């Protein structure tokens, strides 16, 4: 049980006033005549034993039972002894001078646990008690100047001034009187243990994160995600859950495919020319024969280093040109038919080259270097790279 004082400690002057009122109805005499031994002012130190002792309130003015006495012996603050349910300084209390019930005769004071006619040395007489004003809790700095408790704090007297000391397990963080913060001090070094070891109000500070919070982390494939802080650090490997795939040039979800779902297939057909379209119906329309559905893939929208891949109709030769030029490379007979998707200007996300060769009445695009080489060997012009495309 934590030691504590009761919240309500009446100044001796007020206690005397209350007792004087009660004494007016008393026929046996003993009124407050100003005598230092008038039986009821500052003889008691006024420190009731804590109320959490069973049955204590009812027995506050009488002898405690044996069980209570054993318990209460440890309930009084250091230097105090429980006498009849009250914590008493037996070194200065004239009703319990040197021990419970050892009252000093009228006219004597309690000095250092013994009845005497005056106080010795540097002790000061407060009522019938000889006290050290520099340390006495009830007479701190002056007679009848008690030190009060505060929230989870015990008042005590040091060098004649009242101070508050936090009870075990409590800390004063806000600077206001009282100790409002429950904390058991472990040591000055904060450890990763979900505890505020140094009781400064912050738990596991100084580490990268606090366990259980959501923090940024790096997935097993190097993408950025978020996950639960573990061992005061970001989760790693499988503990860092990959995010959903987005169209951003990386394999966010670590499934081995980059930007899956972000592109559409371009079909390759042939008749008098090679023809490329995203439209299956168009691919097989109008005399064209489909060579390969989904021959390559282009992005649906601009992602990373991509640009629109335009389809132009050249009326002079009746074939189609595919180019990143929005002016159809300036061809005088060109009609811009629109964009068929976004092509890479550099290789990323698993892109492969799309080669461009040109022959009589045909602009031909292939992902096969061998096919390109065969065309070139047959006299077609090698026009380099059209750009980079994808296989899915
Ligand atoms: Ca801390
Ligand atoms: Ca800690
Ligand atoms: Ca993926
Ligand atoms: Ca992605």
Shared-domain flag, residues 18 and 146 = yes
Ligand with an atom nearest the CA of residue 254: 3
Shared-domain flag, residues 134 and 1 = yes
The number of distinct structural domains making up the chain is 2
Q: What is the mean pLDDT of residues 43-72?
A: 43
* Cα–Cα dist 46/64, whole Å: 16
Q: Is the pLDDT of residue 74 over 60?
A: no
Distance (angstroms) between ligand 1 centre and the Cα of 190 equals: 6
Q: Which two tokens stand for residue 82?
A: 């429980």
Among the candidates 116, 142, 168, a domain finishes at 168
**pLDDT tens, residue by residue, 259-287:** 999 999 999 999 999 999 999 999 999 99
Query: What pLDDT is attached to residue 83?
Result: 93
Distance (angstroms) between ligand 4 centre and the Cα of 314 equals: 36
Task: Answer yes or no: are the C-beta atoms of 236 and 217 closer than 8 Å.
Answer: yes
Shared-domain flag, residues 125 and 21 = yes
Task: Answer yes or no: are the C-beta atoms of 322 and 340 closer than 8 Å.
Answer: yes
**pLDDT tens, residue by residue, 110-168:** 999 999 999 999 999 999 999 999 999 999 999 999 999 999 999 999 999 999 999 99
Q: What is the mean pLDDT of residues 378-383?
A: 97
Distance (angstroms) between ligand 1 centre and the Cα of 164 equals: 23
Please report whether residue 204 resides in a domain: no
Please report whether residue 281 resides in a domain: yes
Query: What pLDDT is attached to residue 45?
Result: 61
The enclosing H or E element of 9 equals: none
Q: Residue 72 — pLDDT band, cuts 50, 70, 90?
A: very low
Distance (angstroms) between ligand 1 centre and the Cα of 10 equals: 38
Q: Residue 61 — pLDDT band, cuts 50, 70, 90?
A: very low
Between 31 and 79, whose confidence is greater?
A: 79
Please report whether residue 377 resides in a domain: yes
Distance (angstroms) between ligand 1 centre and the Cα of 236 equals: 25
Please report whether residue 13 resides in a domain: yes
77: three-class secondary structure by DSSP: coil
Whole domain around residue 27: which residue ranges? 1-168
Please report whether residue 18 resides in a domain: yes
Query: What pLDDT is attached to residue 75?
Result: 75
Shared-domain flag, residues 140 and 286 = no
Among the candidates 138, 168, 198, a domain finishes at 168
Shared-domain flag, residues 162 and 275 = no
* Cα–Cα dist 392/257, whole Å: 9
Please report whether residue 106 resides in a domain: yes
Please report whether residue 140 resides in a domain: yes
Q: What is the mean pLDDT of residues 298-311?
A: 97
Shared-domain flag, residues 145 and 31 = yes
Q: What is the mean pLDDT of residues 9-17?
A: 32
**pLDDT tens, residue by residue, 169-224:** 999 999 999 999 999 999 999 999 999 999 999 999 999 999 999 999 999 999 99
231 Cβ contact list (under 8 Å, min separation 6) = 192, 211
Task: Answer yes or no: are the C-beta atoms of 367 and 353 closer than 8 Å.
Answer: yes
Task: Answer yes or no: are the C-beta atoms of 13 and 46 closer than 8 Å.
Answer: no
Ligand with an atom nearest the CA of residue 392: 3
Q: Residue 79 — pLDDT band, cuts 50, 70, 90?
A: confident
250 Cβ contact list (under 8 Å, min separation 6) = 223, 258, 259, 349
Distance (angstroms) between ligand 1 centre and the Cα of 191 equals: 9
Please report whether residue 201 resides in a domain: no
* Cα–Cα dist 203/196, whole Å: 4
Q: Is the pLDDT of residue 23 over 50?
A: no
Shared-domain flag, residues 125 and 2 = yes
364: three-class secondary structure by DSSP: strand
Query: What pLDDT is attached to residue 78?
Result: 77
Ligand with an atom nearest the CA of residue 207: 2
Among the candidates 168, 196, 225, a domain finishes at 168
Shared-domain flag, residues 162 and 292 = no
* Of the candidates 308, 333, 329, the residue with the CA atom closest to the CA atom of residue 319: 333
Query: What pLDDT is attached to residue 77?
Result: 77
Distance (angstroms) between ligand 3 centre and the Cα of 250 equals: 7
Average model confidence (pLDDT) across the chain:
85
Distance (angstroms) between ligand 2 centre and the Cα of 151 equals: 25
Shared-domain flag, residues 164 and 276 = no
């Amino acid at each position: 049980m934590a030691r504590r004082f009761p919240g309500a400690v009446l100044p001796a002057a007020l206690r005397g006033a209350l007792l004087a009122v009660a004494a007016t109805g008393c026929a046996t005499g003993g009124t407050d005549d100003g005598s230092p031994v008038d039986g009821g002012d500052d003889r008691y130190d006024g420190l009731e034993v804590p109320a959490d002792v069973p049955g204590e309130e009812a027995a506050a003015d009488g002898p405690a039972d044996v069980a209570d006495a054993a318990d209460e012996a440890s309930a009084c603050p250091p230097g105090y002894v429980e006498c009849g349910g009250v914590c008493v300084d037996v070194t200065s209390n004239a009703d319990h001078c040197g021990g419970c019930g050892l009252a000093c005769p009228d006219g004597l004071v309690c000095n250092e646990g013994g009845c005497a006619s005056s106080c010795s040395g540097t002790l000061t007489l407060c009522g019938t008690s000889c006290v050290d004003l520099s340390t006495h809790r009830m007479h701190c700095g002056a007679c009848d100047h008690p030190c009060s408790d505060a929230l989870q704090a015990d008042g005590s007297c040091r060098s004649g001034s009242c101070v508050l000391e936090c009870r075990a397990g409590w800390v004063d963080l806000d600077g206001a009187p009282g100790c409002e913060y429950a904390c058991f001090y472990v040591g000055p070094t904060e450890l990763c243990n979900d505890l505020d070891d140094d009781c400064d109000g912050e738990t596991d500070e100084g580490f990268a994160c606090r366990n259980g919070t959501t923090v940024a982390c790096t997935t097993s494939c190097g993408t950025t995600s978020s996950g639960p802080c573990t061992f005061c650090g970001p989760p790693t490997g499988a503990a860092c859950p990959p995010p959903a795939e987005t169209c951003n040039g990386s394999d966010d979800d670590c499934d081995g495919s980059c930007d899956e779902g972000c592109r559409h297939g371009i079909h390759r057909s042939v008749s008098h020319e090679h023809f490329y379209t995203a439209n299956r119906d168009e691919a097989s329309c109008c005399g064209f024969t489909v060579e390969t559905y989904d021959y390559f893939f282009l992005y649906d929208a601009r992602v990373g280093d991509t640009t629109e891949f335009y389809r132009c109709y050249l009326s002079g030769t009746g074939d189609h040109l595919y180019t990143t030029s929005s002016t159809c490379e300036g061809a005088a007979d060109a009609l811009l038919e629109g964009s068929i998707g976004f092509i890479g200007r550099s290789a990323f996300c698993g892109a492969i080259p799309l080669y461009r060769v040109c022959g009589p009445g045909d602009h031909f695009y292939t992902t096969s270097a061998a096919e390109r080489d065969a065309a070139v060997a047959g006299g077609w012009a090698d026009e380099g790279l059209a750009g980079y495309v994808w296989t899915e």
